[in-house]
């Protein structure tokens, strides 16, 4: 099926193109191939700027761009954080940068990124972007006005239309085959398995889980198909119907069809026409809406692994055991009389299934009530524990003291003159008159009089000479001293 093209310009073919397609990074990267080929032989500089919604998309799309033949000899940078982008730009110039608008705006604010030589801007998965973002406006303000702009989105939402009218004036619109024809045959069973990394990495575990007698692995392009064949060969799958890799054609009556990502509507219709027992799509979470468009009336449902199925079967076995115990004790006559009128309208098995559903609903409500009661009890216990700790702190004096300004209360002030006269005071318990003051070393001196200032001046002069022994003569002149 050829992708229809609708011209929005007049007679001039615009350089801005909007592609409406699933968010498949390999297919989006192929639209950037002409932009990479036009930069061959130029000096290293950022000439391709790719805007994505988040860091995970930046990593995935950078890997897809680097695997293109036109990417040989070029350096790509996945801008997952501002600090990482600045370090990588400091190591050398890059030919293309893939990142979210807020990361690029931070690098522009730090003068670590220059976009004055950008020739092509690609808005990848534009339906997940915020067109009113200030970071997006700051980044596009540094891009030259003559740069070509490309856009990919699943559907022309209001945000996509606002982005096109603001930054891609008179852009051409190309709608790829994202929905099958109205008279197309619907698939019997459609399941999906969401992965955050490569869809190819989840393929071996999926084949082991389903264990189908024949399987067809549908890849998006030839490089992806070669990688899938190499993986299957490395784990022991021979070339044949047990696990056959294809890019479009699926043999009739194949038991299992596994798609690596979301294929085009033409490839999906070829897989549905083969009438497989089930189709399982290994997709990223952002590709679920595109898968719903392809499936049509066959609503895609998540694939349950073997462990989940085993747990569900064990729970059903326990319920049947409970019913057997009740039936073994005898048929309850009251319940039979209550349900007998329903046998005229419904089958007995249907009535039992409805009763089992009511039982499960009642048990679920009781479990919720028990959980809520336990939560209330835990809350009350925590509050009681906090009150107990606060009371213990108050008893120990650890509680914060209340602030009381000075002068607010009445002070017990007594003037100094209110006491008894000094002469009427009772004597001290120890007085100098009762016991002589002696130093702690008096016991070593005996009764000898104390030297220094403790001696009597009449007994011995204090200094080295006595002033009374020799009369003091005239003082000699100052110069003869």
What are 65-75's pLDDT values in tens digits? 998 888 888 89
Give the model's pLDDT for residue 143: 93
Helix extents (H) in 397-475? 442-445
Query: Which tokens belong to 64?
Result: 């897809």
Whether residue 10 is predicted with pLDDT greater than 70 in this model: the reply is: no
What mean pLDDT do residues 296-311 have?
Answer: 73
pLDDT band at 307 (very low <50, low <70, confident <90, very high): low
Give the model's pLDDT for residue 77: 92
Q: What is the pLDDT of residues 95-122, one digit of tens each?
A: 899 999 999 999 998 888 899 889 999 9
The position carrying tokens 């009642």 is 362
Helix axes 101-109, 82-91, angle to 10 degrees: 60
For residue 49, the cross-strand partners are 97, 121
Give the pTM: 0.60
Q: What is the pLDDT of residues 260-282, one digit of tens each?
A: 988 888 888 888 888 888 899 99
Distance between CA atoms of residues 426 and 164, nearest Å: 106
Q: Which CATH superfamily is domain 190-303 in?
A: P-loop containing nucleotide triphosphate hydrolases (3.40.50.300)
- What is the dotted CATH code of the domain comprising 5-175? 3.40.50.300
Lowest mean pLDDT among 181-195, 261-275, 383-397: 181-195
Q: Please tell me whether residue 150 adopts helix, strand or coil conformation.
A: strand
Distance between CA atoms of residues 375 and 456, nearest Å: 92
Whether residue 163 is predicted with pLDDT greater than 90 in this model: the reply is: yes
Q: What is the DSSP string of 14-66?
A: PS-EEEE----HHHHHHHTHHHHHTTTTSPS---EEEE-SSHHHHHHHHHHHH
The position carrying tokens 């989105």 is 153
374: DSSP letter: H
Whether residue 428 is predicted with pLDDT greater than 60 in this model: the reply is: no
Give the model's pLDDT for residue 165: 92
Lowest mean pLDDT among 64-78, 166-180, 393-407: 393-407
Lowest mean pLDDT among 134-138, 229-233, 306-310, 327-331: 306-310
Q: What strand order describes the sheet that includes 256-260? A: 244-246, 215-218, 256-260, 278-283, 190-194, 301-302
Answer for the pair 294, 179: CB distance below 8 angstroms, yes or no: yes
């Amino acid at each position: 099926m050829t992708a229809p093209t609708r011209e929005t310009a007049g007679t001039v073919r615009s350089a801005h193109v909007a592609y409406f397609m699933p968010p498949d990074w390999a297919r989006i990267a192929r639209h950037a191939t002409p932009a990479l080929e036009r930069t061959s032989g130029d000096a290293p500089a950022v000439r391709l700027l790719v805007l994505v919604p988040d860091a995970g998309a930046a990593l995935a799309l950078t890997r897809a761009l680097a695997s293109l033949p036109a990417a040989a000899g070029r350096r790509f940078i996945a801008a997952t954080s501002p600090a990482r982008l600045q370090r990588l730009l400091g190591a050398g110039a890059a030919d293309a940068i893939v990142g979210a608008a807020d990361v690029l705006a931070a690098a522009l604010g730090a003068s670590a990124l220059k976009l004055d030589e950008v020739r092509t801007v690609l808005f990848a998965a534009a339906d997940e972007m915020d067109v009113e973002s200030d970071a997006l406006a700051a980044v596009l303000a540094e891009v030259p006005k003559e740069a070509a702009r490309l856009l990919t989105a699943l559907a022309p939402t209001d945000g996509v239309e606002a982005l096109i009218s603001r930054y891609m004036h008179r852009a051409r619109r190309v709608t790829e085959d994202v929905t099958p024809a109205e008279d197309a045959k619907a698939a019997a069973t459609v399941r999906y398995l969401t992965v955050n990394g490569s869809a190819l990495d989840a393929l071996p575990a999926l084949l082991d889980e389903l264990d189908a007698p024949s399987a067809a692995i549908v890849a998006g392009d030839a490089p992806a198909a070669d990688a899938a064949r190499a993986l299957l060969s490395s784990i022991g799958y021979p070339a044949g119907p047990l696990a056959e890799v294809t890019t479009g054609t699926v043999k009739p009556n194949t038991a299992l069809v596994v798609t690596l990502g979301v294929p085009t509507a033409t490839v999906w219709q070829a897989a549905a026409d083969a009438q497989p027992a089930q189709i399982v799509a290994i997709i990223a979470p952002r590709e679920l809406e595109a898968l719903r468009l392809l499936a049509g009336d066959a609503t895609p449902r998540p694939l349950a692994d073997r462990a989940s199925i085993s747990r569900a079967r064990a729970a059903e076995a326990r319920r049947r055991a409970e019913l057997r115990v009740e039936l073994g004790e005898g048929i309850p006559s009251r319940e039979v009389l209550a349900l007998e009128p329903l046998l005229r309208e419904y089958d007995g098995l249907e009535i039992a299934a409805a009763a089992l559903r009511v039982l499960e609903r009642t048990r679920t409500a009781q479990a919720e009530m028990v959980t809520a009661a336990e939560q209330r009890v835990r809350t009350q216990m925590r509050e009681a524990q906090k009150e107990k700790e606060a009371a213990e702190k108050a008893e120990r004096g650890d509680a914060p003291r209340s602030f009381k300004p000075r002068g607010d209360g009445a002070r017990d002030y007594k003037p100094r003159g209110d006491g008894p006269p000094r002469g009427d005071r009772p004597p001290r318990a120890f007085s100098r008159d009762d016991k002589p003051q002696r130093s702690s070393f008096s016991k070593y001196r005996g009764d000898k009089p104390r030297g220094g200032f403790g001696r009597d001046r009449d007994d011995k002069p204090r200094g080295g000479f006595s002033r009374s022994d020799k009369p003091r003569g005239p003082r000699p002149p100052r110069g003869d001293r």
